[in-house]
Amino acid sequence: MNALGRHILVEFYNCTPELMNDVVHIENSMVSAAETAGATVINSTFHHFSPYGVSGVVVIQESHLAIHTWPEYGYAAVDLFTCGESVDPWVSYNYLKEAFKASHGSSMECRRGQQSLLKRTDFTVEARDTGQSIETLPTFTRDVWFTERDENIALSLKHTGKQLYKKQSDYQRVEVFETLAYGNMLTLDGMVMCTQKDEYVYHEMITHVPVLSHGNVRRALVIGGGDGGTVRELLRHESIEEVVLVEIDALVIEACKLHLPETASAFDHPRLKLLVEDGIKYIQQCADEAFDLIIVDSADPVGPGEGLFTAEFYSQVYRCLTGNGIMITQSESPRFNTKVFVEIYDTYRGIFGANNVHCYLAAIPTYPTGTWSFSFSSKGQAHPKQFDAEAAARFSREQGLRYYNEEIHIAAFALPNYVKDLLAVKA
């Protein structure tokens, strides 16, 4: 070939947009394209950018294959670089054109390291005889990353390349990835909802704080929460006679039953009433003073959860609470979603009264900034710091809770100064 390597610069056009945003499909296709051409794959690294776009590289013994995609244009830019004559990069080109369902592609081949321009020098590497056998080529390892980001901040989690679940419902894209550090991870429209390793923090704090503050919860309603963690924690309390879960998306329940079974363990509990329907409509039709506790376990204020962040909705929740009832919501990160955080607390105060609304925090590593907030809004006299600490300690110990205890209950309401300033809370 009279050159050290062949470098093909490729552009694929009119690819299927969904495929161009599917990091697992792209990674698998790039690896297969290398192997089909006869290359020896050493490693791969791929990132999915939220809301769309994938970058990645497959390192081969003979050099590399690299890609970046623009799903919104159905476009992919690809580099195919092989050294020597044992691998034909055009085999990889044809494989990827088919895998990405491109209507056409353009390409340019460069011969790298023209031998007529090179002068070989004497170059030796000293080897030390250690008496050990020479190591074989390393086993191919995948280095694939899921990235949730906005324009200012990002969270990346490395996963195995196994996408355990992916379906598009009428409301959102439901996916489960197998991550290395946090186990199986549920995402909705590219946003992390929960992982096997840290979900207990969120679910213990959104449930046990209000139940133990109230002291006499008989009926509880959960809006959202299709992963099952919130109802699992509520049903630990034998005094609760009925828990109603209203989840709009059946695919969330299906995905978690299949791949986060520890979280979704209570769906068959006899005290649970499971309804797959719109939580907003359910609240509108709900009887007055029907529940002692209502937990709004919603996603972020986009997509199907957007209607759960309105004054009209919270007013309906207030109506449905008993005289001493409590509403709990996840109220975003004060650092990440500052504008929404401030606005919804103003809304709560307008409905429940300024003295009856309290903010508390928990540390959740896989949520943006790691600091997450919950709201405690009381219709009557229930106060989060006036609770039976001995009963809380006993409950935490007997149930083997991993985050909540009587000390955390109090400490969670100790707000940093910057959060106090956002909420204009005076000590």
Binding-site residue positions for S-methyl-5'-thioadenosine:
172, 247, 278-279, 304
68 is catalytic: yes
Cα angle 55-102-44, degrees, rounded to a multiple of 5:
30
Q: Which segments are annotated as binding site for spermidine?
A: 203, 227, 297-300
Catalytic residue among 68, 88, 107, 315: 68
Catalytic residue among 63, 92, 331, 396: 63
63 has catalytic annotation: yes
CA angle 203, 208, 213 (to 5 degrees): 150
For the chain, percent helix, then strand, then coil, each to nearest 5? Answer: 30, 35, 35
Annotation says 259 is catalytic: no
**Closest Cα to residue 174, out of 63, 259, 96?**
259
Rounded-to-integer distance, Cα 148 and Cα 288, Å: 40
- Which residue of the set 297, 358, 396, 409 is catalytic? 297
Helix (H, G, I), strand (E, B) or coil at 156: strand
Residue 346, CA distances (Å) to 112, 230, 260 in order:
63, 25, 35
Q: Which of 83, 194, 256, 286 is catalytic?
A: 83
3-state SS track over 284-303: HHCCCCCEEEEEEECCCCCH
* Residue 398 DSSP SS3: helix
| CA count, 13 A, side-chain hemisphere, 223 | 30
Between strands 242-247 and 219-224, the pairing is parallel
CA dihedral sign, ordered 159, 165, 168, 173: negative
Residue 417 three-state SS: helix
The DSSP result for 171-198, as a single string, is S-EEEEEEESSS-EEEEETTEEEEETTT
Any idea which residues carry the catalytic annotation? 63, 68, 83, 297
